[in-house]
A and B are shown apart, each in its own frame.
Chain A
Amino acid sequence: MKYILMMHGKRADWDEYTGWSKEDLQRNVAYMRSFSRELNDRGVFVDTKGLALPHEAKIVRAGQNGEPVTDGVFPESKEFLAGYWVIDVETPEQAYQIAARASAAPGPGGMPANMPIEVRQVLGSHSDLGL
């Protein structure tokens, strides 16, 4: 079963992140690299993407004749998707455990940053005849 692990953040979180010390940043980057390696080694990795900052983010709707109508810029308090991982695991518990590993990435002073990770199952094929 595939799960998407989504990391959301506000503009303020980014501003805080950019204020981290060099050591804190290095520790965090090293942790995330080893986290990626771990997903690969366990054979559960499907996809990951980090998203650009939402300076230019727009909400698009189709107007008359299907022409794009855009909406934005957004208030600083709005939550944006910062990035995601897609994993393929055997049980929901495994997905939660991996999400917790992502959330435990070190923040300032090496303390776990405890970023909230939203875990959602990806719609797919699941059927069971009862065997």
Chain B
Amino acid sequence: MALSEYASDVPIGHLLRELTPQVLGMVVRRFRDFAAAEDAVQEASIAAVMQWPQAGIPENPRAWLTQVAFRKMTDHIRGESARRRRETEVAEEAARAPLTGFDAAPMNDDTLVLLFMCCHPALAPSSAIALTLRAVGGLTTAEIANAFLVPEATMAQRISRAKQTIKASGIPFQLPGPEERRVRLRALLHVLYLIFNEGYTATSGPHLLRADLSREGIRLARMALQLEPGNTEISGLLALMLLTDARRHARTGSNDELIPLSQQNRTLWDRGQIAEGVALLSAALPKGSVGPYQLQAAIAAVHDEAEHPEDTDWPQILELYELLKRMSDNPMVILNHAIAAAMVHGPKEGLNLLDGLHGEPRIAAHHRLDAVRAHLLEMAGAPQAAAKYYLAAAGKTVNLPERNYLLMQAARLGSR
């Protein structure tokens, strides 16, 4: 059994992750029942994991998985008893029909429809994330549960509820029309971004598993871009992920402590990923309307392209934040804009901008407001006041490494 000796489950896992959404798309298209189809494909994947290591990977693994999933669907429908006899006959006929349509175009459509369905705005973000990772990402429920540090049963329940929501909402299995498509695309981008971010900001739990979420976010964004090659906001999102993830090895120290951008060892940045991100962005930017993901990616690119922190083109970053501010009232954008203004026009300018934000409850309550004020006060040569605000920020953040970082800043300035 030389084969089982050499065939580790890693390539099978990769293969399954790639094939799952394609097979699922085909099964849903044929049987029109997303929830049951998702279960059937998951069972087919489990069958593959159990059988392929011994029997070898079949010549056409996609057809194999599709046949097994079709059989599971037929079993499922049969199991729903004789009162639905007629539906069973239709199903059996569907399952008997020869497998066609393996050409790329309709299959890509199926995967895109799936992606839109799993990232549906009717779902809570945590449900959309879980469903996307399972149905499109091909991860098992246990893997997703591990990554989000919840019990497997809880994650299974979340996925099952998400499927019920989709079923109840009666969304047809087809590409949304142009009007609806914009709304759905925004939700899709947000879900992929959240998956990436969860892995990138991981502060607890098994790090490898969590870092996998960033890779998974990047993989899904690549997949989305392949399905919608001309979409500049997907390009922007993928570029943003690559340009951010490129700094992964430089952003934490040996004790998992946060290292801010200005103090990172830039030789640890992944030049290949930066080049890819910049290329994606350069191709997308001239093509038409520039959305928030492209702008965030552009800001990340300006940082990544500076060999030393003092080479950073802050005027350009400030300009980009001006544009972003017009599209978003998110506190982080407004606070980062104040930092950029301080870097260009001096700390006074930044502090003036912060003073103007008191009337904005979302910003006034944001834990980063104190941190930004502390940073600007330090720049302005007021270490004691800065230390006070670093401490205030440390008391408000819910992120442990960030809390440690802020306490360290206060201590460095001799707060006590």
Residues of A within 8 A of B (CB): 1-2, 40-47, 88, 90, 121-131
Contacts and interface: CB of A to CB of B under 8 A. Distances in A.
A123 B403 contact: yes
B161 A124 contact: no
A38 to B, nearest CB: 11
Contacts of A41: 157, 161
Chain A interface mostly: loop
Interface string B141-159: 0000000111101110110
Given A43-B155, A88-B148, A128 B330 contact: yes
A128 B148 contact: no
Contacts of B398: 1, 121-124, 126
B158 A43 contact: yes
B51 interface: no
Given A45-B151, A45-B154, A46-B150, A131 B201 contact: no
B400 A42 contact: no
Given A40-B154, A42-B157, A46-B150, A127 B197 contact: yes
A84 to B, nearest CB: 15
Contacts of A129: 193, 197, 240, 296, 332
Interface string B121-143: 00011110000000000000000
Interface in B224-256: 240
Interface in B150-189: 150-151, 153-155, 157-158, 161
Q: What interface size band does chain B fall in?
A: 35 or more
Contacts of A43: 127, 154-155, 157-158, 161
A59 B320 CA distance: 55
Chain B interface mostly: helix
18 contacts: A42-B157, A43-B157, A45-B154, A46-B150, A46-B154, A88-B148, A88-B154, A90-B124, A123-B204, A123-B398, A123-B400, A124-B400, A126-B399, A129-B197, A129-B332, A131-B190, A131-B293, A131-B296
B124 A131 contact: no
B201 A126 contact: yes
A93 B111 CA distance: 35
Given A88-B148, A130-B333, A131-B328, 16 more contacts: A40-B154, A40-B157, A45-B153, A88-B126, A124-B203, A124-B398, A125-B201, A126-B399, A129-B197, A129-B240, A129-B332, A130-B296, A130-B330, A130-B331, A131-B193, A131-B330
B336 interface: yes
Contact of B399 (A47, A127, A131): A127
6 smallest CB-CB distances across A and B, nearest first, come from A43-B158, A130-B332, A130-B330, A130-B333, A127-B201, A43-B157
Interface string B286-327: 000000110010000000000000000000000000001000
Interface of B: 124-127, 148-151, 153-155, 157-158, 161, 190, 193, 197-198, 200-204, 240, 292-293, 296, 324, 328, 330-333, 336, 398-400, 403
B243 to A, nearest CB: 11
Count chain B CB atoms within 10 A of each CB in A40, A42, A43, A124 and give the residue with the most. A43
A32 to B, nearest CB: 18
A47 B151 CA distance: 8
B204 to A, nearest CB: 6
B299 to A, nearest CB: 9
A117 to B, nearest CB: 19
Nearest to A1: B398
A86 B382 CA distance: 42
B204 A125 contact: yes
Contacts of A128: 197, 330, 332
Nearest to B300: A129
Contacts of B296: 129-131
A59 to B, nearest CB: 25
A53 B60 CA distance: 61
Nearest to A46: B150
Nearest to B159: A43
